[in-house]
Amino acid sequence: MQKTTRKRSTRLLATAALAAALCSSAGAQSAYPGRTVTLVVPTAASGTTDFSARMLAQALAPVLGQSVVVDNRGGGSGSIAASAVKSAKADGYTLLMQYSGFHVISPHITKQKQWEHADFQPVANVISTPQIIVLRSDLPMQTLAELIAYAKANPGRLNYASSGAGSLQHVTGGMLEQQAGIKMTHVPYSKGTGPALQDLLGGQVDLTFGTAPSFLPHVASGKLRVLAVTGKERLPSLPDVPTTAEVGYPQVNATSWFAVFAPAAVPRPVIDRLTADIRTVVQSPAFRQKAQEQGITADYQNPQQLGDKVRADLANWAPIVKALHLKVE
């Protein structure tokens, strides 16, 4: 009789412990976030990836009810940041603010892969924007046609900066070379647009391909000149700058996107909370207006849409990268 009573008591205690654990787990998820959330950025400070992350962090914090900090981990064409987030605890407190060039182009040209797409799950797209072709203003070329004419007469003399081998800037430069029949020298900056911009301003490189936010202040000051937009439409922030299609190079068409990814094992309720709050932020009039003023577009996409975009872009860029014979320097 006593043995039966003890067994029943043991079972009751085990059941109670299991119930408590389940309640604790559910409570932990429902309480997310309970502390600071970190957005890891695969570039140095400055550049549109960093700008997008800081813009999102500032607007997202009051919606989440917790601080959102930006952690810049540039280098390795995005692999340092991606590896850090992949290895982080899958609790939703460490996220990757990813740049499309690193996510869908670098994998096609990188032999030593430190991460796989399966290591991450999409949370939300935040920003989309075309590239612009930017020249230092002390060079005499006033138009893209003049730049191409000079490059044809002086093969390899012009050099262009990118935010790393496999970045969209790298691919855009290769597309322009191929379509225009010119040869330039590629100078990769593996830590991102910030260091490349500093060398462009300092005269160490001649031109670059990038997104508008980093360059607009220097265009306004006269230090840089924008020759073309690599999209189908002109930018509202640069209404007088023609598209590459308008000046005869429609196939030089490159659009960047900047999106949030989480480690693959983060629980679905946490992803759902993050996605919903990012949607609230990105679709707000204030966020959209701030983005437009910087020459970029607030472009919310949910996890399914972002996942579809990644798969489509991986397929679309593969033949382009192969045709351009791009390599990691």
Q: Are residues 145 and 280 in the same domain?
A: no
Whether residue 90 is contained in a domain is answered as: yes
- For the chain, how many structural domains are there in total? 2
The CA distances from residue 74 to 116, 119, 140, 259, 290, in Å, are 18, 19, 33, 16, 25
Mean pLDDT, rounded, of the chain: 88
Q: Are residues 115 and 172 in the same domain?
A: no
Cβ-contact 289, 281 below 8 angstroms: no
Sheet with 255-263, strands from edge to edge, namely 68-72, 37-41, 94-99, 255-263, 120-130, 297-301
Whether residue 11 is contained in a domain is answered as: no
Q: Are residues 124 and 140 in the same domain?
A: no
Residue range 227-231: mean pLDDT, rounded: 93
Answer whether residue 28 shows pLDDT above 70: no
Query: Residue 174's domain is classified under what CATH number?
Result: 3.40.190.10
Whether residue 236 is contained in a domain is answered as: no
> Bridge partners of 99?
258
Q: Are residues 44 and 115 in the same domain?
A: yes
Query: Residue 85's domain is classified under what CATH number?
Result: 3.40.190.150
Residue range 87-92: mean pLDDT, rounded: 97
Q: What's residue 311's pLDDT?
A: 96
Whole-number Å distance between alpha carbons of 317 and 27: 43
The CA distances from residue 102 to 99, 177, 216, 313, in Å, are 6, 21, 23, 12
Q: Are residues 54 and 102 in the same domain?
A: yes
Q: What's residue 77's pLDDT?
A: 81
pLDDT band at 116 (very low <50, low <70, confident <90, very high): very high
Residue span of the structural domain in which 52 resides: 36-129+256-324
pTM score, two decimals?
0.80
CB atoms within 10 A of CB 25: 11
Q: What's residue 11's pLDDT?
A: 53
Answer whether residue 10 shows pLDDT above 70: no
Q: What's residue 155's pLDDT?
A: 96
Whether residue 9 is contained in a domain is answered as: no
Q: What's residue 232's pLDDT?
A: 85
| HEC profile of the chain | CHHHHHHHHHHHHHHHHHHHHHHHHHHHHHCCCCCCEEEEECCCCCCHHHHHHHHHHHHHHHHHCCCEEEEECCCHHHHHHHHHHHHCCCCCCEEEEEEHHHHHHHHHHCCCCCCCHHHEEEEEEEEEEECEEEEECCCCCCCHHHHHHHHHHCCCCCEEEECCCCCHHHHHHHHHHHHHCCCCEEEECCCCHHHHHHHHHCCCCCEEEECHHHCHHHHHCCCEEEEEECCCCCCCCCCCCCECCCCCCCCCCCEEEEEEEEECCCCHHHHHHHHHHHHHHHCCHHHHHHHHHCCCEEEEECHHHHHHHHHHHHHHHHHHHHHHCCCCC
Q: Are residues 118 and 266 in the same domain?
A: yes
Q: Are residues 145 and 218 in the same domain?
A: yes
Q: What's residue 30's pLDDT?
A: 56
Q: Are residues 204 and 137 in the same domain?
A: yes
